[in-house]
Amino acid sequence: MVGRIDARLEELGIILPQAQKPKVAKILPYTISGNLLFVSGQIPQWEGEVRYQGKVGKNLTLEEGREAARLSTLNVLAHTRNALAGDLDRINRFLKVNGFVNVTEDFDEVAAVVNGASELLQEIFGDAGTHARIAIGAANMPIGVAVEIEAIIEINSDS
């Protein structure tokens, strides 16, 4: 039986990538404490191929930054699926999303870049995808990626 969220992904034509192990960092991709799922920062990669490297405002446009945030968020969802044994219906709501954007010193549309992540979660999860958030511009990012997204998610721990 296909779950509600998997059906929504299919309806939207969204395919999640396979969750990848961290490329450099010696971290867990996620951890669960009680009914909270913490997903470590995810970069814009597809099946292990890193995409969107560079600085938004220099060699990447605002729209490319938004796409990088969206792809990073798909990787957050891939790790979430693993953490929840494949059952995305266990998500009660996204509590907080943190977005980090590799930008030039004068780029001031960091929040607009991270909107790529927020809008995707709202598109998929509706009200449960609406969250608190921080969007930070950074001078440098791991392996030169444009965006990194992490999330704190309230889950149903009864399953």
Provide the CATH number for the domain around residue 82.
3.30.1330.40
pLDDT band at 1 (very low <50, low <70, confident <90, very high): low
Rounded alpha-carbon distances, angstroms, from residue 94 to 58, 107, 144: 31, 28, 27
Task: Tell me the pLDDT tens digit for each residue of 21-73.
Answer: 877 778 899 999 999 999 999 999 999 899 999 999 999 999 999 999 999 99
Burial class (CB in 10 A: 0-12, 13-18, 19+), 111: middle
Q: Please give the residue range of the domain that contains residue 110.
A: 4-155
Calculate mean pLDDT across residues 84-98: 97
Q: Is the pLDDT of residue 159 over 60?
A: no
Query: How many domains, the chain?
Result: 1
Separation between Cα atoms, residue 69 and residue 126, nearest integer Å = 18
Q: Model-level pTM greater than 0.75? A: yes
- Beta strand segments in 34-80, E: 36-42, 45-46, 49-50
